[in-house]
Structure 1
Amino acid sequence: MTRNWLPIKTNPWTLGLPLIAMLWLLHIFDAPQRLNFWIYDTLITAYPADIAPDVVLVGIDERSLDDLGQWPWPRAVHARLVEKLAAAGAETIVFDVLFSEATPDDPDLASAMAAHGQVILPLHLSPLSSNQLITTHLPAPDLATAAAGLGHAHVELDEDGIARGTYLRNGLGDRLWPSLALAAAGVGQSPGPDPEAAPYTNVRQQYRAVPLAGGAGTITAYSYSNVVSSPPSPERFRNKTVFVGATAAGFGDILPTPFSGLRQPLSGVEFHAQAYSALVENRLISRLPESLSLVLAIIILVFLAVALPRMRPARALGLCLSIALTLLITQVALLLIGSVWFSVAPALIVATLAIPVSSALRLAMTNRFLNRQLDDLAMGPAMSLPKPSVRHPAQLLSHFRALLQPRGWLVAKDEEVIDAEGLSLADVPELTENGRWLHRNNESWIRLVRNGTIYTIGLKLPNDLSREAIQRYLQRLPLMEASTDEPHRSPRENVSARIERVRKATHQMNQMQQFIQRSFESMPDGIIVTDELGVIRFANGHIEEWFGEPTPSLSGLPLARLLDGHDPRETTPWHETVSETLTLAQARTVDLRLSEKSFLIHFAPFALPGSEQNGIIANVSDISELREQQRQHREAIDFISHDVRSPLVSQLALIEQLKRNHGQIDTAQLDQLGMLARRSYHLAEEFVQLARAEQLTETRFYECELLNIVENARDSVSEQATGKGIQLVLNGQEDLWLKGNAELLERAVINLMTNAVQYSPSGSTVTILVFSAGHEACLTVNDEGEGIADEEMPHLFSRYRRQKSSELSGNHGTGLGLSFVNVVVEKHRGSISVDSRLGVGSSFQLKLPMMPPPR
């Protein structure tokens, strides 16, 4: 039944309110700020600033500490540095070294500073202890008097711990100090007190971002000890501003920057030197208030909330991308050209989120109609496959137990055990990734998240050859929901047309399901379809009838549990057969016994749509009539092998006893009786061998070598050939490896050789050839006997059929020897052919599929 539906529309409120909520939520987690920092760092590192030509660095590096001794050095050493730099013509000397405490050498340093006249010293603001207020720590009085200027050495770290700029003015409320770079530039006269701040309040003004030129080593640097110990170098320092500070690793302040991050932080003196370079080059960047960024984001949000509901998806996408590109270009232009840092991150996030939010609203409204149509589809036969990723962990464990029969298991919710045997919480390893199996020897563990709750599942698998296959199967099993992309749809097609197409497709799918359902129900065999965990998802009416289980109870029942409940077995249990079908992706055929009737169940893996895993299609065939015929056949074989062979063996023993007791019985008669008894025995023996050959399956195959088999057969026939004066010649030196039953193959070769000896004249030669042809192993037996008539060739391998010429020549037999050879060759998927000419001889050739030799 088709239900009515309303046209799909959105309005500014349905789009605007979710965007506001998402923007507010992202703002709580500082997502706009992180995006803002990322854009700034990307631009700054992509377009680094140039260093002013008059800036150099004298670093207190590792070499200086080795040469001049342990820190702190006497201030007379610093005085010598000032004198050397003054002699070299340095215009300004800026120390990034704190001289807060007075020492006896202060007059020497003060005298050198005063003689130069342009030495800048740092100060810093910090509390004396954790319980005290911030105070200003000035240089020692003599040094402060001799200094041309004082500047604070503080660098501002942003919320992410990265140093991007500094405040040009910083101090307590009673006096503000310029930054070290501002003082070095000669414009650092400190203004008066801040009238709006208390004297003990830390006041920071005029924040400026520093466009760095690079990481550590960007500025030309000289070793402190080298400058002190060498003659003045005017070519290095004349008319230069020299920054002096610590650059040795682990010594002095270090700052993570956009260039270095936390891996290779920048020394404080290098940061101040680059700040000075940007200041004198007029490149310092002003940062606009964040309130302006929020205002821009709100304007963009209102515009999109009004415009997008009226536009097609393609045009809406183009509009949002255009706005995002315009915002990025604006920020790049302001930053690189206007030296203004204006964050467009909030507006950029709004423009980016508008498309998925708008599309989600459209899809949500479309789903109202689609869900109604899908309800109609659900009224038909249920053929859906619930994904393992949506099943409860306790249910998953139940399926694993039925499928894999683990030796131990555990399922826990957070730290609470739900079900366990042979495993405990103490055995749980560290699981770092959700939804991914961790295999540890014969234990497999996984952590799953369902509705915010963490579940842990552990399995202790059998420590045999099946363990690796099961663990590979578990690794492929999708237990976490994977994200899928929406299929592409033509933007020119309106939503109403797509809804109509979905309605028609739903109707067609319903008809197809009914067709498939009726087809399965009409099949002569029982059909069971499972998912990737071996759980039954479909069964036709035959299964309900034969197993005596109603169809609703079959759905969701593990296949191994169903079979084990009706035909339990210890040898090759059902769970092993089902498990190997899934894990090894190999077909299996097994006998099944239900209600005194015989069945044959064939397990075949098949690839599930949209998954890397396999399910199982189990075909159950009623072979009761065939089994009855086989039973009768086995009874005949048992009769021949027991009721005929056993008394004949006793008869042979009695004959041998009579031969030893010479009496009235004629020896010739006894020999004749023995010959007949042996013939009867051979008849029974060949019946038994033929029955074994007919029941041969590949489960009894193993690796064997053809040349070795032929040599053993030749040794068995050699006595018979010697008795007739026949020579057996074997030609073959190559090892030819097969997968088969060596015992029956040897018996087949013996039959061929025995026939060749039996039908060859005395003094002749029987030639045996063993060779390879392509991927086949070949055996040829050539004799020089009477040959086979053309009219007898079609019946050569028929049972109980013997050659007329053989009977006339007195070579009596059962007619089962060549039939046995033919059955053995067919069971090995090979072929046998005969080439014979009367009066010349016969040639029998066997061809068997060959396998690579074992390593």
Structure 2
Amino acid sequence: MKTGFARLLRLGESRERLARPAESGTARSARWRPGLEILRIGALLLILALGLSLSGVLQRIDHLVFDLGQRLQPVVPPQGVVIVAIDSHSLDRLGAWPWPRATDARLVDAVCRAGAAAVGLDIAFTEAGSDAAGNAALAQSLQACGKVALPVVLDSLRSGGQIVEGLPIPQLAAAAAGLGRIGVQLDGDGVARSVYLWEGVGAPVWPLMAQTLLTIAHQPVRGSAPRPAQSAVPSHPYALAAADQRRLRFVGPSGTVPRLSASAVLDGVVPPGALRSQVVLIGATAAGLGDFLATPVTTQGAPMPGVEVLANTLIALRDGTLIHVAAPVWSLLITALLALAPLLWLPRLMPLGGLIASVAWGLVLVGSAAALPLLTGWWVAPGGALVAALSAYPLWGWRRLEAARRHLDGELRQLRRTVRESPEGDAPAKHKRLSFERRILEVQAAQQRLRDLQTRRDDALAFISHDVRAPLAGAVQLLQSGKMDVAARDRLLTQLRRALNLSQGFLDLSRAQSLEPSALVEIELGAVLHQAADFAYDEALAQGVRFVREIPDDPIWVRGDFDALERLTTNLLRNAVQHSPAGSKVILGATLAPHTVRFWVRDQGPGLTPEQSARLFQRFSRAHEGPGTPLSGSTGLGLYYVRLVAEKHGGAAGVTSRPGEGAMFWAELPRQA
């Protein structure tokens, strides 16, 4: 059986083994390898970003970021485009919609006389009706103006969903300066964000009406594309064919493009020159007329009239601000690079710094993706990269926690083995049932015990180097001197007895420290007290001290270790005898409480000061040590042993004393019912 003294001496070697553990195959495989972890997390981020991007589930995020950029751009009222609005005031003034074709003709005449550079009618004239004279008048006005473009409407029949081209009636189409397609592309959320430059049934033959108007007005068309060859866009003869999709950059929310009421234009009350050299769009803005669309700049539930969407398309074509959508290959490549970017800083930063950097990176991604179309005219869907940015820190933290958990398990096994925490040794399966926080607490507790052991070792070595070495060195000198008279033999016996007492003290401490609650049994405390008094009787008799016992006759049952409690009581009795004058008495007694028992030893010695009482139960502390005070053969471990054994039994120990009034040392233990 290893003694506490031996364990203390081996503690230094155990700490060195703990600091330099042997690297087994399992330990090598469990090490934190940053390079390998970077590859693992990088693969996970790529799978996450690219997989979600290809699946299309992130379109809502992409739309939100795009709309954010549209709303944050400064609103500057455009020049060169005016809407002549068929508004509620015009309906009150000219009558309910639809107006007679003759009224439409008068409106076209008024706009052309005002000097418009081109006129676009956002009104579908796909049916002749019964007003032949009105059709003739409108055709004459179109031909006389020579600057009017009419719309081509691509729509589906109600039965079967077949796409048809809604052309103006031949009489009006022949008189118009050009034809162009109106309409925008609605995304899955019902918001108009993009247009196709060319569309048609069977082949993309129709340009945007905005392009037609710019051509009529002899204004540059920027960002457009030539009509694609029919073979370049394979399509069913009766299906919609489209080419060259662009996203719109809106100049602002509804109402940003200047408007004039149609009734004001007909009555000639508009400011002079208001329409001169302007591209004029005539369309409905009154509620219940025409089409109203949700757009990225729609605010407070105010959709945008179709004629104003047409105006924004025209302005974007004229100014070259239509937004290109990156090809899927390039978009995926950019997404992959952005998804891996967090791995540039996460391995180098502490957790808080990594969190701040990750949040900042997510904000940079959102801001950059929102601003990119406005600055460069290109749109790259940021959803995949943004999800990767938000996932990089949790994934990296998860891998760090896994590495920390493996490290904690290894440390816990080493520490448990070093401090002999469990009698059955290391049991790795137990670690798996512990939470991460519990593992940290276990390691902290084991490390604290290890530090305590180191402190005990240092104290023990310092004590042994002085107190044990001195009597042994004295004994060796006596033996070497060869003078072995009676006095010399007495001195030798005293030195050896002191060394023996020190060794016995360490052995007792070792046994007390190894006491486990499971090893305690039910014993009768009165028998322990009486037997301890019997053992100390001879020493008391030699000192001229009388024992008085005040122990109840009824059994006192406690759970404990008989030998340890006997040694505790003996230490208290011997301590009292050593500090009691001849002719005095030492009282050993016990006091019962409902759930505890307190047994005590009272002497008639010199008593203790509060400072002495405070340090009395510490290791290597003596009751009356101080300058000029003899050691009196005490090891300084007896009262420390008393406190340790009492605490191992779930109790406590203490002293009550005043200088000159003696001292009462006590120990309190839980009672058995």
User: Matches of residues 701-740 of structure 1 in structure 2 within 5 Å?
Assistant: none
Partners of 1:21 and 1:288 in 2: how far apart?
21
- Structure 1 counterpart SS, 2:190: coil
Alignment match, 1:812: none
Matched AA of 1:115? A
Which one of the candidate residues 319, 323, 329 is aligned to 1:285? 323
- Partner secondary structure for residue 230 of structure 2: coil
Answer whether contact 2:75 2:251 (CA < 8 A) is retained: yes
How far has the Cα of 1:174 moved from its partner?
A: 3.9
Q: Deviations over 1:657-689 (max 9, x none)?
A: xxxxxxxxxxxxxxxxxxxxxxxxxxxxxxxxx
Q: Name 1:61's counterpart in structure 2.
A: 87
Show the 5 A alignment for 1:64-79.
Answer: 64-79=90-105
CA distance in 2, matches of 1:341, 1:24: 17
Any residues of structure 2 matched to 1:519-538 within 5 Å, and which? Answer: none
> CA separation in 1, counterparts of 2:450 and 2:300?
61
Classify 1:347/1:213 alpha carbon distance in 2 versus 1 (closer, same or farther; 3 Å). Answer: same
Find the partner of 2:251 among 213, 229, 246: 213
* Pair 1:40 & 2:78 matched: no
Question: Does residue 178 of the first structure (1) align with residue 207 of the second (2)?
Answer: yes
Larger deviation: 82-91 or 193-202?
193-202
**1:152 and 2:188 matched:** no
Q: 2:171 aligns with which of 124, 142, 152?
A: 142
Pairwise CA distance, 1:156? 1.0
CA deviation digits over 1:758-797, x for unaligned, max 9?
Answer: xxxxxxxxxxxxxxxxxxxxxxxxxxxxxxxxxxxxxxxx
Give yes or no for contact 2:199–2:207 (8 Å, CA) kept in 1: yes
User: Which is strand-richer, 1 or 2?
Assistant: 1
Q: Does 1:204 align with 2:275?
A: no
Q: Which residue type is aligned with residue 42 of structure 2?
A: G
Q: Equivalents in 1 of 2:264, 2:100: separation in Å?
A: 17
CA distance in 1, matches of 2:97, 2:225: 32
Relative to structure 1, the CA distance from residue 373 to residue 277 in structure 2 (aligned partners, 3 Å threshold; closer, same or farther) is: same
Equivalent in the alignment of 1:194: 230
- Relative to 1, partners in 2 of residues 1:340 and 1:306: Cα closer, same or farther, differing over 3 Å? closer
Matches within 5 A, 1:61-100: 61-100=87-126
How many pairs were matched up?
A: 403
Does residue 294 of structure 2 align to residue 256 of structure 1?
A: yes
Instruction: Report if the CA contact (8 A) 1:64-1:224 is conserved.
Output: yes
Q: Is the 8 A contact 2:366 2:382 kept in 1?
A: yes
- Confirm or deny: 8 A CA contact 1:168 1:205 kept in the other structure: yes
Tell me, in whole angstroms, the C-alpha distance in 2 between the residues paired with 1:35 and 1:287.
Answer: 16
CA–CA distance in 2 between the matches of 1:251 and 1:509? 84
User: Structure 1 residues 233 and 146 mapped into 2: Cα distance closer, same or farther (>3 Å)?
Assistant: farther
Tell me by how many angstroms 1:252 deviates: 1.2
- Asked if 1:503 is matched to 2:443, the reply is yes
1:229 to 263, 267, 270: 267
Matched, 1:351 2:389: yes
Q: Quick one: distance in 2 between partners of 1:347 and 1:112?
A: 55
C-alpha distance in structure 1 between counterparts of 2:77 and 2:246, whole Å: 17
What is the identity, as a one-letter code, of the residue corresponding to 1:277?
Answer: I
Is 1:9 the counterpart of 2:33? The answer is yes
Q: 2:374 aligns with which of 323, 328, 336?
A: 336
- Does the residue aligned with 1:123 lie in a helix, a strand or coil? strand
Q: Conserved in 2, the CA contact under 8 Å of 1:290 and 1:343?
A: no
In structure 2, the residue corresponding to 1:337 is in which secondary structure?
helix
Distance in 2 (alpha carbons) for counterparts of 1:374 and 1:38? 49
- 1-structure distance, mates of 2:167, 2:151: 8
Q: Which residue identity lines up with residue 169 of structure 2 in the other structure?
A: A
* Structure 1 residue aligned with 2:577: none
- How far apart, CA to CA, are the structure 1 residues paired with 2:189 and 2:446? 53
CA positional deviation for 1:121: 0.9
Q: CA deviation at 1:165?
A: 2.3
Distance 1:63 1:232, change over 3 A: closer
- Code of the residue aligned with 1:173 in structure 2: it is G
Residue from 102, 119, 122 that aligns with 2:151: 122
Q: Could you list the runs of 5+ residues in structure 2 that have no partner in the other structure?
A: 1-13, 216-220, 423-435, 452-512, 518-593, 596-673
CA shift, 1:31, in A, is 5.4
What's the RMSD between the two structures over aligned residues? 4.2
* Counterpart Cα distance in 1 of 2:270 and 2:348: 76
For 2:288, what is the secondary structure of its paired residue? Answer: coil
Write the distance in 2 (CA, Å) between the matches of 1:509 and 1:155: 75
**CA distances 1:472-512 after superposition (whole Å, capped 9, x unpaired):** xxxxxxxxxxxxxx99xxxxxxxxxx99886124666999x
Residue aligning to 1:167: 196
Match of 1:627 in 2: none
| Distance in structure 1 (CA, Å) of the matches to 2:150 and 2:209 | 8
1:241 is displaced (CA, Å) by: 1.1
TM-aligned CA deviation for residue 359 of structure 1:
0.9
* Distance apart, 1:194 and its partner CA: 1.2
Secondary structure at the counterpart of residue 131 of structure 1: coil
Q: Which residue of 1 aligns with 2:401?
A: 363
CA contact (8 A) 1:56 1:241 kept: yes
Partners of 2:123 and 2:151 in 1: CA distance = 7
**Partner SS, residue 185 of structure 1:** helix
The Cα shift of 1:148 comes to 0.9
Q: Is the 8 A contact 2:194 2:246 kept in 1?
A: yes
* Identity value in percent: 33
Structure 1 residue 108: Cα displacement: 0.6
Contact 1:175–1:194, Cα closer than 8 Å, also in 2: yes
How far does residue 307 in structure 1 lie from its aligned partner after superposition? 7.7
C-alpha deviation, 1:61, in angstroms = 1.4
Superposition deviation, residue 297 in structure 1: 2.2
8 Å contact from structure 1 (residues 52, 280) kept in 2 = no
The 8 Å contact of residues 320 and 352 in structure 1, kept in 2 or not, is answered as yes
CA deviations over 1:605-652 (Å, ceiling 9, x no partner): xxxxxxxxxxxxxxxx99xxxxxxxxxxxxxxxxxxxxxxxxxxxxxx
| Structure 1 residues 215 and 506: CA distance shift in structure 2, 3 A | farther
TM-score, length of structure 2 as denominator length? 0.52
Where does structure 1 lack aligned partners over 5 or more consecutive residues? 381-485, 488-497, 519-620, 623-855
Contact 1:51/1:277 (CA < 8 Å) preserved in 2?
Answer: no
- Which deviates the most, 304-313 or 18-27? 304-313
Letter of the 2:46 counterpart: I
Q: Deviations over 1:265-303 (max 9, x none)?
A: 111101111221222222222221233121122234456
Shift of residue 212, structure 1, vs aligned partner: 1.1
Checking the alignment, whether the CA contact within 8 Å between 2:119 and 2:282 is kept in structure 1 is: yes
Q: Is the 8 A contact 2:77 2:258 kept in 1?
A: no
- Aligned residue for 2:138? 109
Tell me the equivalent position of 1:778.
Answer: none
- Mapped to 2, the partners of 1:102 and 1:374 lie a distance apart of 91
1:276 is matched with which residue?
314
C-alpha displacement at 1:353, in angstroms?
2.0
Per-residue deviation, residues 225-273 of structure 1 (Å, max 9, x unmatched):
2322346754221111111111112321111111215811111101111
CA contact (8 A) 2:186 2:192 kept: yes
Q: How does 1:310-329 map to 2 (within 5 A)?
A: 313=351
**Structure 1 residue 56: Cα displacement:** 0.8
Q: Is the 8 A contact 1:51 1:278 kept in 2?
A: no
On the 8 A contact 2:249/2:323 being kept in 1, the answer is yes
TM-score by length of 1: 0.42
One-letter amino acid of the counterpart of residue 9, structure 1: R
Maintained 8 Å contact 1:286/1:341: yes
Provide the C-alpha distance between the structure 1 equivalents of 2:183 and 2:88, rounded to a whole number of angstroms.
24
1:322-342 per-residue CA deviation (whole Å, 9 max, x = no partner) reads 865765675466423322223
Query: 2:304 maps to which residue?
Result: 266
| One-letter identity of the residue aligned with 1:34 | R
- Shift of the alpha carbon at 1:90? 1.7
Q: CA–CA distance in 2 between the matches of 1:44 and 1:62?
A: 29
Query: Any idea what SS the aligned residue of 2:205 has?
Result: strand
Higher helix share: 2
